[in-house]
Structure 1
């Protein structure tokens, strides 16, 4: 019996020590490795002391080995507290507190021969072993250890319920590994097995070490901090608010706290427990109280996308809602920019032909409508003489002049090549022709700098008015026909489709 106990304790010490070494070597890879190393190192020391106590040939050696178990106990309890705190996502910020219990325990053990408050009595055995009677300090130490371990189990179970489904197996391994020696310790203390120098606790640390070592070595990420839903929510850059059925705020993530603080409707920053319309302010009230997804623009120019998701229980009841708010200001700016680019000419910056056609169809039938088609005179000669770079500058300069002259009264578009089209809603052919003459005079006065000196550019224009019952394609054809007539009549002039005569 005695030899079997010694063998069992030594085996437990070796396995626990191996696990401690492996965990310590992995301390740079995860936050749980250091605390796991401390736990298994304490288990190894406790088991080794148990082996010495079981093999002792004299009462003094047996008593010294019994006292020597408690450094391992202190390491194990402190390590368990540390490990559980990190494991459940609430790490201990002041680790010095972990040393309080070990320091008091060691003081009680070392001074026990003088006050006998830890072991009230020691009975020597003929074979060299000892049986101890527990004193008040021992029971106080035991109560603390069980309280710490019970609290750790409660926190682990609560964290397991909060964890994402794929990480719950990590908690199961943790709890299974820790439960075996805890059960053995309670059985040994409260059933009198220690009177026969039998302590199941170190032996059952074989189970703990095996489970946790298997998890470390074969892919189950027990050394990693499990991911809880609250950690996922906290990591989101979107503002997330959880509301109860009455609209009171139950929780907010850091992004939501920052957003609400920027809105300034809660001076003290305390939002939990308040109604949502008290904390979001009038600008977001409509979006929060609306449907599934809405967009709102604040006075400060920030655009928020607000999504309200109603939670549902299995019985169909609604326990509350989750509100997700995203700042889409930059996204909307980029979207508007891309939308604008899709309808703009890449060289000149005025609208493109597709937008011209769309605008004509939208404005047709809303009243008088005229189109001016114009073309740069002798543009091929400009390209051949000055180069295409100068030709591009001519088009850009003309587009700028037209855009400034037309302003908000019409739409300027590049129709193709060196040809432009201007839509003039509310204008007839005569008014459009008069405006085109003004633009022609203005353009003739502008110059483009070239290596050969200033280049003056003129254009020819054709004007047409949308006839009753005609379509926009017919309007463009007639304006183009008037432009062709202007070129045939000598260029640098405006011709209307009505008379095909020079104005």
Structure 2
């Protein structure tokens, strides 16, 4: 049995030593390599000292090798704490502080034959040494487990912060830490049944394999998103994390709500493909990075931002972050503001600037031969209305006339306020004579409408000039002709419609 244990410890120590050397060579590639190599070097020291203690020819030499076990234990504790700190996304601890425990421990062990604070009694046992621990031994055990427990707390906190696709890595890390911890607890507290049997250094090989896998996976080599759950769950934007194959790693509550609206039949999305959840309408938008505005099938408008997270070493994409925002209301407000920018503040019809832009576009379109006419309208005696009834009544008159005109035109027509009491109606596809007939109909409706005022009822009339775009003319010429016709109507007695370059008068 003793020989088998020596072989076991020696084999475990040599494997751990080889693994420590191989891991150390990768120290420039990942911040986890150096602490992991330290853990495995300490484990190798631990196991080889155990083997030497069992194979020692004299009790005195066995005790010496038994003391050397704790040099490996202290190294393992330092490496373990370092590894857990880096894995949790924190800065590596100061090496000087971590070395306090190993230095003090070596000093106590070197002088223990004189003060017996570490081992009160040492004697030969069936599979090695049987010892009676002293207060320094228990202080060492308490400190070691406190440091390891603190490191595990850091990992657990990082696990809770991490996205769900990364949490499995932390769980495997905890599994790797659990195996030697249980083995050491058996050695320390159940030594009555297993005298001399030290399971911890052998089981650290399990830790090495598991931690090697978590390190090589590349998932937790860098710090994970800090306070991920707290921050992203508070965002109104939908945040979705996809792996390189397009599977969902995590979604925040806003994303859950958005995905439920896009695909009500979809329940859990973690682990499912993006195209399976969002359907064909949104599938292609995650192919490229950048910002995209997408109109949903129900008319909603979404702003999508796609970011590829790349690994620092080789530039390959490790995941894709999709941030989506429902901008339906924002787009409505934007359209409303855009519309207000081209509207007259009092009457609500289009302003002069928009009229100029529309006339220019309509004039180019009319070059194909379709007629384009305009009607220029001026309220009769408007200054007298303001002087007698007040500006408030004058404003009401303009608003009322604007409403009448807007309610009497086609969807393709345009009503604009040209000046103080002047309006222009653009009639694409309508020749001058037909435009004059429509304008006269508006004139009659306006004259028949009474406006109540504190000084009695008021009937408003207007004069209008009609012009049709000539083949060689432009918007400015069209406005000039309509303006001249309108002033001719005023000089002819007001409350009538005249066509430019014509003696035709349509009056009521």
Query: How does the TM-score come out when normalised to structure 1?
Result: 0.57
**1:327 equivalent in structure 2:** 326
Aligned pair 1:447/2:446, yes or no?
no
Do 1:287 and 1:295's aligned partners in 2 also have CA atoms closer than 8 Å?
no
Q: Give the CA deviation at 1:327.
A: 0.8
Aligned pair 1:417/2:420, yes or no?
yes
| Count of residue pairs the alignment pairs up | 316
Q: Give the CA deviation at 1:142.
A: 9.4
**2:316 equivalent in structure 1:** 317
Aligned pair 1:403/2:414, yes or no?
no
Aligned pair 1:426/2:429, yes or no?
yes
Describe the shift of the 1:254–1:493 C-alpha distance in structure 2 as closer, same or farther (beyond 3 A).
Answer: same
Do 2:386 and 2:393's aligned partners in 1 also have CA atoms closer than 8 Å?
yes
Aligned pair 1:470/2:453, yes or no?
no
The secondary structure found in structure 2 opposite 1:454 is strand
Do 1:260 and 1:266's aligned partners in 2 also have CA atoms closer than 8 Å?
no
**2:216 equivalent in structure 1:** none
Distance 2:501 2:251 in 1: 69
**1:292 equivalent in structure 2:** 290
Distance 1:452 1:477 in 2: 37
Gapped regions of structure 2 (runs ≥ 5) = 1-83, 90-118, 122-131, 164-184, 190-224
Describe the shift of the 1:369–1:341 C-alpha distance in structure 2 as closer, same or farther (beyond 3 A).
Answer: same
Do 1:350 and 1:414's aligned partners in 2 also have CA atoms closer than 8 Å?
yes
Distance 1:160 1:396 in 2: 61
Aligned pair 1:233/2:236, yes or no?
no
The secondary structure found in structure 2 opposite 1:375 is strand
Do 2:162 and 2:228's aligned partners in 1 also have CA atoms closer than 8 Å?
no
Do 1:414 and 1:421's aligned partners in 2 also have CA atoms closer than 8 Å?
yes
Matches within 5 A, 1:220-369: 228-267=227-266, 269-289=267-287, 292-314=290-312, 315-366=314-365, 367-369=370-372
Q: Give the CA deviation at 1:229.
A: 4.2
Do 2:161 and 2:229's aligned partners in 1 also have CA atoms closer than 8 Å?
no
**2:391 equivalent in structure 1:** 388
Per-residue Cα deviation, 1:42-97 (whole angstroms, up to 9, x for no partner): xxxxxxxxxxxxxxxxxxxxxxxxxxxxxxxxxxxxxxxxxx9xxx89xxxxxxxx
Taking only aligned residues, the RMSD between alpha carbons, in angstroms, comes to 3.5
Do 2:372 and 2:431's aligned partners in 1 also have CA atoms closer than 8 Å?
yes
**2:110 equivalent in structure 1:** none
Distance 1:279 1:463 in 2: 60
Distance 1:229 1:410 in 2: 55
Distance 1:333 1:368 in 2: 35
**1:493 equivalent in structure 2:** 496
The secondary structure found in structure 1 opposite 2:318 is coil
Distance 2:412 2:440 in 1: 16
Q: Give the CA deviation at 1:145.
A: 5.8
Distance 1:387 1:375 in 2: 18
The secondary structure found in structure 2 opposite 1:449 is strand
Q: Give the CA deviation at 1:290.
A: 5.9
Q: Give the CA deviation at 1:307.
A: 1.6
Distance 2:295 2:445 in 1: 41
Per-residue Cα deviation, 1:248-269 (whole angstroms, up to 9, x for no partner): 11111221112112333443x2
Distance 2:243 2:141 in 1: 43
Q: Give the CA deviation at 1:147.
A: 6.0
Q: Give the CA deviation at 1:291.
A: 5.7
Per-residue Cα deviation, 1:180-199 (whole angstroms, up to 9, x for no partner): xxxxxx9xx99xxxxxxxxx
**1:379 equivalent in structure 2:** 382
Do 1:462 and 1:495's aligned partners in 2 also have CA atoms closer than 8 Å?
yes
Do 1:159 and 1:228's aligned partners in 2 also have CA atoms closer than 8 Å?
no
Distance 1:141 1:426 in 2: 94
Distance 2:338 2:332 in 1: 10
Describe the shift of the 1:449–1:290 C-alpha distance in structure 2 as closer, same or farther (beyond 3 A).
Answer: farther
Query: How does the TM-score come out when normalised to structure 2?
Result: 0.56
Matches within 5 A, 1:1-12: none
